[in-house]
Amino acid sequence: MTTTILRQVRPLGGEPVDIAIEDGVITAIGTGLEGDEVIEGGGHIALPGLVDLHTHLREPGREDAETVRTGSQAAARGGFTCVHAMANTDPVADTAGVVEQVYRLGVEHGFCDVQPIGAVTVGLMGERLAELGAMATSAAGVRVFSDDGKCVSDAVLMRRALEYVKAFDGVVAQHAQEPRLTEGAQMNEGALSGELGLAGWPAVAEEAIIARDVLLAEHVGSRLHVCHLSTRGSVEIVRWAKSRGIDVTAEVTPHHLLLTDELVRSYDPIYKVNPPLRSADDVAAVREGLADGTIDIVATDHAPHPMEDKECEWDVAAFGMLGLETALSIVQQTMVDTGAIGWERVAESMSAAPARIGRVERHGRPLAVGEPANIVVYDPAATRVVEPADTASLSRNTPYAGIELPGRVVATLLRGRPTVLDGALIEQEASA
């Protein structure tokens, strides 16, 4: 059996050690370890492989924007060893057949584990429940269900979904957007939207759905996850719900931790995203929420689009931006370098907690003997200028083009197999 030594890394930013890996499992941690192969860690930080609970891989149906292969390559370059693929594909991932197709594509390409998310309703139409039980018992073992991109706005249907998923320990991940309050909305509602002449997207459209759904989750005793929370009021509602013991978790995206609606002054559709970029006060609130644990996780909402869908007039441009390859850098810049959190909290919010929520047992584990060797090695002292042409994604719609960001993923290991070394992708055989 081959023994691989990950030489001189600092788990969670601690003291340098060597990590020995055999058959995909950590077998020893110490100094001066010997093995058959050596991967130099350079004294950089080692974290558990990152887990994204909110990724759009577009396949099947929009392979011009992204595929499971290219999206999982982008994930590996960002330090992710597992991503959850959203259901708004074509056909929609609302049957066992479609989720199994996505799952098997992830296994085939092997750059990270791809865990499909199943649709809550048939065709994302919000009219009747999809085959939740069939998806849960399929080879993909779906545990997260979401109509992301569309809100399950019918309260009766949302209640039924929350009741249904209890049977297999599932969770409904809600895109909190009251549709009647956001018809034609283009950006965050406020003085700036009036000044720019763009239809406003009020914070209450998000907050009202979250308030309703935490009460529904409490009523039926089920798990609720709030996707891409973005306002101060939303943070306060989730904080209140947790104080009551309601089983709710929430995520924030990297772009909502950094970018504000002031960027919309450029009318550049690269900044058009759902939910919209919010005010500086909202950004401060979501940072506080992530720091104190009200917001459980960071999720990328990686949303690739082909050039023609973003390089056009603002009102017809698609919502969304890339996020996988820059997420860790943004969290470092906004949360670690500001002193708001340390690397242990980064590991919790970007690996352990999303793995728990998604019920992916092989991921989010501590760097300890006997645990799967899913590891990212990260150099926080490095800097890089984001070049859209350098992304592994098929799409180029990053809002950070030309911006210098801190940090660099040096290596990513999936069950001990390098998917990235020295920042470069390593071609994979089929994953276990």
Catalytically active residues, by annotation: 301
CA distance 349 to 330: 13
Instruction: Quote the CA–CA distance of 212 and 57 in Å, as a whole number.
Output: 30
Would you say 113 is a known binding-site residue?
A: no
Question: Kind of pairing, strands 80-85 and 50-55?
Answer: parallel
Class of residue 306 by CB neighbours under 10 A (exposed 0-12, middle 13-18, buried 19+): middle
111 is an annotated ligand-binding site residue: no
Task: Check residue 316 and report its DSSP letter.
Answer: G
Is 168 annotated as ligand-binding? no
Residue-wise DSSP of 149-184:
TS----HHHHHHHHHHHGGGT-EEEE----GGGSTT
Q: Is 57 annotated as a binding residue?
A: yes
The annotation status of 319 as a binding-site residue, yes or no, is yes
The verdict on whether residue 323 carries a ligand-binding annotation is no
Residue type, 430: A
301 is in an annotated binding site: yes
The helix/strand/coil state of 197 is coil
Helix ranges restricted to H, 225-326: 232-243, 254-258, 280-292, 307-310
Please indicate if the annotation marks 302 as binding a ligand.
no
54 has binding-site annotation: yes
Any long-range contacts for 190-197 (C-beta under 8 Å, 24+ apart)? 190/261, 190/279, 192/261, 192/262, 192/264, 192/265, 193/261, 196/264, 196/265, 196/267
**What span, in angstroms and rounded, lies between the C-alpha atoms of 406 and 158?**
41
Instruction: Check whether 84 is labelled as a binding-site residue.
Output: no
305 annotated ligand binder: yes
Annotated binding-site positions? 54, 56-58, 88, 148, 175, 228, 274, 301, 305, 319-320
Annotated binding-site positions for Zn(2+)? 54, 56, 148, 175, 228, 301
